[in-house]
Amino acid sequence: MNRPVVGREQDAAESDRMDLKDWRARALEFEGEVGRAIVGQERAIRLLVIAVFARGHVLLEGDVGVGKTTLLRAVAHALGGSYERVEGTIDLMPSDMIYYTFLNEDGKPRVEPGPVLRHGSDLSVFFFNEINRARPQVHSLLLRLMAERSITAFNTEHFFPHVLVFADRNRIEREETFELPAAARDRFLMEVSIGSPTDDESRRALLFETRFHDVDQLIGALKEGVIDYRQINALAKIIQSSVVVSPAIEKYTLDLWKAVRDPAAANVSIPGVDMTRLVAGGASPRGMSYLIRAARVSAWLAGREMVVPEDIRDIFYECMAHRIFLSPVYELRREELVRSLIDQIFASVPAP
């Protein structure tokens, strides 16, 4: 089979062209390199790799000190682009993301680019920590950055074609927080949970292997630019147009979608739950199309040229859970109920 070829985004030199199989080998090398810095997070790393090649932004969920920053710095390093981290605080203003002012040594006011503008179009990983501590005005700026990969500043439109936004929501200290609006949440491809490793060997390594105690050294030891971040947009398009979704998988996905929107009509039940009231909304068309985008990448990473039901099921929870709205009465049991809902849907919707 003659596979499509991909060159650099701007300079498609013949020598740089590779087919999808070679790209897959590089993607797996990229995954392996990130895995050298992070222990016990194989699934989270795979999901992030899927997001990178699906060009989707990611919400991160997890405690403090579980390696989120290390993981994202490793991703940026292995992609070769720039990394930036911003802390969400209640007094953070949108302008703080764009520029900062100070007096120079001569006492004259100076304006310098802030975290978003500083790296120009090289920005590849933008980590917004505790995003729900920032005000809605900041969320809107982020929404624009995510949706259009551009912002307007100083009367100029700045483009960030390679940027992926990763945002962490602080779920524990909820006071003084602003929940992300649904429109912003829906623009994230997936929400990935990062936990503490549970196996003894990973825990032992984290505590006693000194390389895990110095993040700069840990990241510096990784191979830089295993995959060129400037080539991924073009590659992502080729993956999407090459990996096949059969009519049977199309029907399966549509049936799953129907069941999420109206579980009662699909005969899905959870003991003690009124299925006619459980789901209040969500599961947008954007969300479902992101799911398919991610499933195609998942199939490609597994060495297949077509999507199988497992590709859909494997990433369904991470792609859909953050965009399913429950009735307020069920919201407190959200995690448990959304998991059961998805499990029950898989059990009742026949797979091809």
Q: Which of 6, 20, 50, 70 binds ligand ATP (CB under 6 A)?
A: 70
**Shortest distance in whole angstroms from residue 202 CB to ligand ATP:** 7
Distance CA 137, CA 93 (A): 7
CA angle, 226 then 232 then 237, to 5°: 145
Options 63-71, 92-100, 171-179, 250-258: segment touching ligand ATP (CB under 6 A)? 63-71
Q: CA 42 to CA 46: how far, in whole Å?
A: 6
Does 212 participate in binding ligand ATP (rule CB under 6 A)?
yes
Footprint of ligand ATP on residues 104-143 (CB under 6 A)? 129
The single-letter DSSP state of residue 222 is S
* Min separation Cβ 92 and ligand ATP, Å: 16
**Does 80 contact ligand ATP by CB under 6 A?**
no
The single residue among 39, 165, 192, 260 that binds ligand ATP, judged by CB under 6 A, is 39
User: Does 67 contact ligand ATP by CB under 6 A?
Assistant: yes
Of 3-11, 21-29, 208-216, 309-317: span binding ligand ATP (CB under 6 A): 208-216
Q: 3-18: b or e for each residue (b if 16 or more CB lie within 10 Å)?
A: eeebbebeeeeeeeeb
H or E stretch including 158? strand 156-159
Binding flag, residue 206, ligand ATP (CB under 6 A): yes
Cα(211)–Cα(219) distance, integer angstroms: 10
Q: Three-state DSSP class for 245?
A: coil
CB closer to ligand ATP, 194 vs 279: 194
221 lies in the site for ligand ATP, by CB under 6 A: no
User: Please, which residues bridge with residue 293 across strands?
Assistant: none
Sequence-distant (6+) residues with CB within 8 A of 177 are 132, 133, 170
Binding region for ligand ATP (CB under 6 A) out of 12-20, 66-74, 246-254, 313-321: 66-74
Choose, by CB under 6 A, the member of 35, 41, 169, 186 that binds ligand ATP. Answer: 41
Q: Residue 216, exposed/middle/buried by CB under 10 A (0-12, 13-18, 19+)?
A: exposed
Positions that interact with ligand ATP (CB under 6 A): 38-41, 64-70, 129, 197, 206, 212-213, 215, 218
